[in-house]
């Protein structure tokens, strides 16, 4: 604490991301990174953008990247906003579209960056509890009184549970007076995307990330899609903050990655198949796993303590995520790795369980 800190800074509780340890012989299943590399086309595009033109600022409006995204989702480029990771895109959304007199609504168990942005931008919020099976109940959001906006990931994090498109449609139909943000960071692993509703609802924003399904967490690209007037609001905030959030290398890699839908499909299907195998094998060890449509699972053991299992795995160089929070402190969030990594995880878990019985 410094006496020079502003009142805002003194009051902040920053988000803590999963650790990125320097040790190399680690099985890293804690931050939902993709176990497969990015599209080779993206790597080649980054390599060829690595030239003398780096002395020039990148195009401030990222027209080419927006055009590639717009084509992929059958939208107009003016319905697309891009940023330095979807976390930055979300930050601008909170400031531009979710700060109002009535509270912003989000689930009690969800992406823990949301309350951090509320604190940063001084946004009132109200938590809507998930039901006992950890599902989002649309009715609970609709019955919560006047709201200044609604946000949740679909599938939700860290549960992995998704709502069907019909539920999102109902929410939009019955909540037309505030912005609804669907954070689709994990949508490519088996959830229906709400992007198809964008032309129908002028209060819908859908956010995507290249970090998970496109295996480009290190490149930092995220985007939002929605009505052009919502996007224009985001551009106003962005252009009051940083004119060039997407650098030349990121733009080149991002465009190539977005266009390589064949590779996206290939690795996403591989991860989905590994996920189903992992869930079944964990079940044989006594674990209960929430049905996931993400590249991670949320699981707990009826006998063995969540924090203990997290630590025991860490001692054996396997990193998973444990949240010391009400309702979920018995759970582990485990990223779906390669089949090989999943097998090692299962072997080590088996050892831990049998040595503590």
Q: Please report, as ranges, the residues that interact with ligand PLP according to CB under 6 A.
A: 85-87, 111, 153, 157, 183, 185, 209, 211, 217, 222
Cβ closer to ligand PLP: 107 or 148?
107
Cβ closer to ligand PLP: 293 or 312?
293
Give the number of other CB atoms < 10 A from CB of residue 314.
16
Give the number of other CB atoms < 10 A from CB of residue 346.
16
Rounded Cα distance, 294 and 280, in Å:
16
Minimum CB separation of residue 57 from ligand PLP in Å reads: 22
Minimum CB separation of residue 59 from ligand PLP in Å reads: 20
Cβ closer to ligand PLP: 184 or 260?
184
Minimum CB separation of residue 107 from ligand PLP in Å reads: 11
Rounded Cα distance, 271 and 190, in Å:
10
Minimum CB separation of residue 85 from ligand PLP in Å reads: 3
Q: CB–CB of 210/259 below 8 Å?
A: no
Cβ closer to ligand PLP: 87 or 188?
87
Minimum CB separation of residue 187 from ligand PLP in Å reads: 10
Q: DSSP character for 321?
A: B
Cβ closer to ligand PLP: 268 or 352?
268
3 state SS of 90: helix
Cβ closer to ligand PLP: 89 or 352?
89
Before 155, cis peptide (omega within 30)?
yes
Minimum CB separation of residue 211 from ligand PLP in Å reads: 3
Minimum CB separation of residue 141 from ligand PLP in Å reads: 17
**Strand locations in the chain, DSSP E?**
27-28, 80-83, 104-107, 125-128, 149-153, 180-183, 204-209, 222-226, 288-289, 296-300, 318-319, 331-335
Cβ closer to ligand PLP: 337 or 352?
337
**SS in 3 state form for 193-258?**
CHHHHCCCCCCEEEEEECCCCCCCCCCCCEEEEECHHHHHHHHHHHCCCCCCCCCHHHHHHHHHHH
């Amino acid at each position: 604490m410094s006496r020079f800190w502003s009142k805002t800074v003194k009051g902040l509780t920053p988000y803590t991301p999963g650790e990125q340890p320097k040790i190399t012989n680690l099985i890293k299943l804690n931050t939902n990174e993709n176990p497969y590399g990015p599209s080779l086309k993206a790597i080649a595009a980054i390599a060829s953008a690595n030239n003398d033109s780096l002395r020039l600022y990148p195009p401030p409006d990222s027209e080419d990247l927006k055009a590639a995204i717009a084509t992929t989702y059958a939208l107009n480029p003016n319905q697309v906003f891009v940023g330095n990771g979807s976390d930055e895109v979300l930050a601008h959304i909170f400031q531009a579209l979710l700060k109002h007199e009535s509270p912003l609504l989000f689930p009690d168990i969800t992406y823990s960056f949301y309350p951090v942005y509320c604190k940063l931008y001084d946004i009132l919020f109200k938590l809507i509890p998930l039901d006992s099976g950890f599902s989002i109940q649309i009715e609970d959001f609709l019955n919560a009184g006047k709201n200044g906006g609604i946000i949740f990931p679909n599938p939700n994090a860290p549960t992995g549970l998704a709502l069907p498109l019909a539920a999102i449609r109902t929410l939009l139909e019955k909540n037309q007076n505030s912005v609804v943000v669907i954070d689709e960071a994990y949508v490519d692993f088996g959830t229906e995307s709400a992007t198809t509703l964008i032309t129908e609802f002028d209060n819908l924003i859908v956010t995507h990330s290249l970090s998970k399904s496109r295996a480009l967490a290190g490149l930092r690209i995220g985007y939002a899609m929605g009505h052009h007037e919502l996007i224009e609001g985001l551009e106003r905030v962005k252009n009051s903050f940083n004119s060039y959030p997407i650098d030349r290398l990121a733009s080149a890699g991002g465009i190539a990655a977005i266009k390589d839908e064949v590779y996206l499909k290939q690795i996403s299907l591989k991860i989905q198949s590994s996920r189903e195998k992992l869930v079944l094998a964990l079940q044989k060890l006594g674990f209960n796993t929430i049905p996931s449509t993400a590249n991670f699972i949320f699981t707990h053991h009826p006998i063995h303590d969540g924090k203990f299992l997290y630590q025991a795995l860490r001692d054996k160089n396997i990193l998973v995520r444990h949240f010391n929070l009400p309702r979920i402190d018995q759970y582990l969030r485990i990223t779906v790795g390669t089949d090989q990594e999943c097998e090692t995880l299962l072997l080590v878990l088996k050892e831990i369980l049998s040595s503590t019985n």
